[in-house]
């Protein structure tokens, strides 16, 4: 099975639609989303509706949980807090209701674990170092786990008796997952933070056991204009151009 793995949409409709078009062009019929449909961006309803109609598995992220009232907004940066409050005030009740049905992890599959943030803390932990990856690999029940949350396309792996190694992943990079333990982040669709402003995602092939990292160009100006029209912090619009 070939699966499109997405994460961290963050209310960025132009990016989400562009990725979905690429997914369709690649002939992928299964889509997994690792959470944060909303937050930062100005089109949360559109993104939730796209997820409802296109994803086969969807997790909840910390920004989604904040909007549905499960997390204190005091735990967020000022920009994230303002975006969450605006989203709470503007989102359709039915779409907030959809977010309320989601969980931050899915671990009942035999072969792959799915987490918004990490196997140790599905809501908050940013896995950005080999030390944290080692700790996660120690506790994850699957040989392969997929995580989001950090907005950076990364992979960490570990062989028996070894410590974890890791690397940032760029467009076109392919991993052989047939051996070793793995913890993989596809990067962010809606707000990449690795210097590449294009939407990030990956193709997971569970037949060949490979992961191929993808980037999709989208209309950044339109996403930024929507943020400014909503009177959200201008920094949320500016950072999209720089992938930061």
> Which tens digit of pLDDT belongs to each residue from 105-137?
999 888 899 999 999 999 999 999 999 999 999
d(CA 133, CA 217): 29
Backbone phi, psi, residue 48, to 5° = -65, -40
Round the average pLDDT of the chain to a whole number and report it: 97
Give the dihedral sign, CA 230/19/174/196.
negative
pLDDT in tens, 30-49: 999 999 999 999 999 999 99
Give 145-177 as a 3 state SS string. EEECCCCCEEEEEECCCCCCEEEECCCCCEEEC
CA 67 from centre of chain: 17
pLDDT in tens, 75-110: 899 999 999 999 999 999 999 999 999 999 999 888
Angle (CA) 200 207 138, round 5°: 70
CATH superfamily of 2-242: Metallo-dependent phosphatases (3.60.21.10)
CA 14 from centre of chain: 16
Q: Residue 29: which residues within 8 A CB-CB, separation 6 or more?
A: none
- Looking at residue 29, what is its pLDDT? 87
d(CA 98, CA 193): 27
Task: Report the 10 Å Cβ neighbour count for 240.
Answer: 24
Structure confidence at residue 69 as a pLDDT band (50, 70, 90): very high
* pTM metric for this prediction: 0.96
**Burial degree of 166 (CB within 10 A; 0-12, 13-18, 19+):** buried
Reference 185, options 130, 148, 216, 145; nearest CA is 148
- Six-digit token string for 78: 């000022």
**Ranges of H-type helices in 43-182:** 44-54, 62-67, 78-90, 93-99, 130-139
Residue labelled with tokens 């598995």: 57
């Amino acid at each position: 099975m070939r699966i499109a793995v997405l994460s961290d949409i963050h209310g960025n409709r132009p990016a989400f639609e562009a990725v979905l078009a690429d997914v369709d062009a690649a002939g992928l019929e299964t889509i997994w989303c690792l959470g944060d449909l909303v937050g930062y961006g100005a089109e949360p309803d559109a993104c939730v509706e796209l997820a409802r109609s296109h994803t086969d598995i969807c997790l909840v992220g910390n920004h989604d949980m904040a909007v549905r009232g499960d997390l204190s907004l005091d735990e967020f940066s000022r920009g994230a807090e303002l975006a969450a409050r605006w989203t709470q005030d503007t989102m359709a009740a039915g779409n907030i209701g959809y977010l309320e049905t989601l969980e931050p992890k899915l671990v009942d599959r035999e072969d792959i674990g799915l987490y918004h943030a990490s196997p140790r803390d599905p809501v908050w932990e940013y896995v950005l170092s080999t030390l944290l990856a080692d700790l996660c690999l120690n506790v994850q029940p699957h040989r392969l786990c997929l995580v989001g949350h950090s907005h950076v396309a990364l992979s960490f792996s570990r062989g028996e008796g070894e410590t974890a190694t890791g690397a940032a992943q760029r467009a076109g990079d392919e991993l052989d997952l047939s051996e070793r333990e793995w913890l993989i982040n596809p990067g962010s669709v809606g707000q990449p933070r690795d210097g590449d402003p294009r939407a990030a995602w990956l193709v997971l092939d569970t037949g060949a056991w490979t992961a191929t990292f993808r980037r999709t160009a989208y209309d950044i100006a339109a996403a930024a204009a929507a943020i400014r029209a909503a009177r959200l912090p201008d920094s949320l619009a500016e950072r999209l151009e720089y992938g930061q």
